[in-house]
Amino acid sequence: MRLLVTGGMGFIGSNFIRYALERHRDWEIINLDKLGYGSNPANLRDVEDNPRYTFVKGDIADFELVKELVKKVDAIVNFAAESHVDRSISSPDHFLRSNVIGVYTLLEAIRKENPEVRLVHISTDEVYGDILKGSFTEEDALVPSSPYSATKAAADSLVLGWTRTYRLNASITRCTNNYGPYQFPEKLIPKTIIRAKMGLKVPIYGTGKNVRDWIYVEDHVRAVETVLLKGEPREIYNISAGEERTNLEVVKTILRIMGEDESLIEFVEDRPGHDLRYSLDSWKITRDLKWRPRYSFEEGIKKTVRWYLQNEGWWRPLVNERTLHPTPWKLGW
Ligand code: NAD
């Protein structure tokens, strides 16, 4: 299979590419990434010389470029997006361009140049908004709370509209919060590990009671592989490991694993519009496609802490006042 992966220099895309090259020895992968915020070529240094891997620097909103790439492949996985919620609060325009215009451009390129191509569009649980009790299914309405999730919900609508009208072979995945190797230091879990390792205070927004549904990135990557190979066109698949934790519990667990004291915790001003709880019902992907997560939160978080402690050479160049800022939503782009 010839596969176009967009956004493959980011956290999840790079984990997907490494996994796919290793697991499918007959796959050829083109990685299209604009090397924007949060991307990092060091994420894929170990596969750079693989003859089945090609990197193209470019924007999914560039029709001329995307059209040429779309012609060459059998399938596309679209990870490309501006993904940092905090940044969407200070600079929503970047999010409109990548997450909405970018997806529109990709769909148009597919429609005009290669309508048979298989597309898996990577969305997020954040499109549903928050839920105080119970869990969202794929049938629930989209009620986004941030500029980030609003642009992701808009992209989902475009994919559904194009898929139905032009009969494209596309599926959508909506996954919960990922964690694991190669996650940018600005995000909660790596920031906690890195700041604790550096002996700095560990910031938590508001009261720390916000609940997220955590999944180890390798489990998400296997779910995307499953949807790519077995998913039905025009179907949406929620992806969750059912591991809900408050942010405070997550930080305390990391500090315990690292042998650090809870006195490092510092509560800071909350992010505006901060969703209280996310929770997904992912029974459909288990029932129809037989996917199941393999890692409990306890196992995944131990592996993650170990990875960051052993890979200081990866994160050290990314550490600065911005990436480790306690309230990045207050910063400009
Ligand atoms: P990331 O920010 O680490 O990576 C995104 C990558 O996309 C970056 O390398 C960036 O340069 C690239 N990119 C952005 N705009 C682009 C454009 N216009 N053209 C080409 N490349 C572009 O994000 P991530 O955490 O790896 O998330 C990947 C996808 O998964 C996103 O679509 C996100 O919405 C979705 N998702 C993430 C999570 C999570 O917990 N991180 C959960 C559910 C869904």
- pLDDT digit string (tens) for 226-272? 999 999 999 999 999 999 999 999 999 999 999 999 999 999 999 99
For residues 73 and 183, membership in a common domain is answered with no
Atom of ligand 1 nearest to the CA of 35: 11
C-beta 59 within 6 A of ligand 1: yes
Same domain, 54 and 103: yes
The residues near 98 (Cβ < 8 Å, ≥ 6 apart) are 34, 36, 59, 60, 61, 80, 81, 82
Give the β-pairing of 244-246 and 211-216: antiparallel
Residues forming a β-bridge with 4: 30, 76
Total domains in the chain come to: 2
- CA 318 to centroid of ligand 1, rounded, Å: 17
- The residues carrying an active-site annotation are 125-126, 148
Predicted pLDDT at 55: 98
* Residue-level pLDDT at 254: 98
The string of pLDDT tens digits covering residues 205-234 is 999 999 999 999 999 999 999 999 999 999
Is 284 a domain residue? no
333 pLDDT more than 80: no
> Residue 191 sits in which domain range?
179-212+243-277+296-330
Mean pLDDT of the chain: 97
When pLDDT is cut at 50, 70 and 90, the band that residue 330 belongs to is confident
Residues 32 and 174 in one domain: yes
Split at pLDDT 50, 70, 90, the class of 163 is: very high
pLDDT at 17: 98
Cα(186)–Cα(327) distance, integer angstroms: 10
Q: CB of 38 closer than 6 A to ligand 1?
A: yes
With a cut of 90, say whether residue 297 has pLDDT above it.
yes
DSSP reduced 3-state for 261:
coil
State yes or no: pLDDT of 332 exceeds 80.
no
pLDDT of residue 113: 98
**Does 65 share its domain with 151?**
yes
Which among 235, 237, 260, 262 is positioned nearest to 249, based on CA atoms?
262
Task: Tell me whether residue 227 is in a domain.
Answer: yes
Distance 80 CA to ligand 1 centre (A): 5
Q: What is the pLDDT of residue 119?
A: 98
pLDDT in the model for residue 226: 98
Residue 79 near ligand 1, beta carbon < 6 Å: yes
Structure-model confidence comparison of residues 86 and 28, the more confident one:
28
User: Is pLDDT at 142 greater than 90 in this prediction?
Assistant: yes
101-140 pLDDT, tens digit per residue, is 999 999 999 999 999 999 999 999 999 999 999 999 999 9
Residue 50 pLDDT > 80: yes
CB of 278 closer than 6 angstroms to any ligand 1 atom: no
Instruction: State the Cα angle at 176 between 170 and 181, rounded to 5°.
Output: 100
**Ligand 1 center from residue 172 Cα (angstroms):** 15
**Average pLDDT estimate for 94-106:** 98
Given a contact cutoff of 8 angstroms between Cβ atoms, the answer to whether 132 and 277 are in contact is yes
DSSP conformation letters of 179-242: ESTT--TTSHHHHHHHHHHTT--EEEETTS--EEEEEEHHHHHHHHHHHHHHPPTT-EEEE---
Domain at 118, CATH number: 3.40.50.720
pLDDT reported for residue 322: 86
Report residue 1's pLDDT band, with 50, 70 and 90 as the boundaries: very high
Report yes or no on 285 lying in a domain: no
Domain containing 309 — which CATH number?
3.90.25.10
Please tell me whether residue 307 adopts helix, strand or coil conformation.
helix
User: Are both 51 and 94 inside the same structural domain?
Assistant: yes
Same domain, residue pair 167 and 190: no
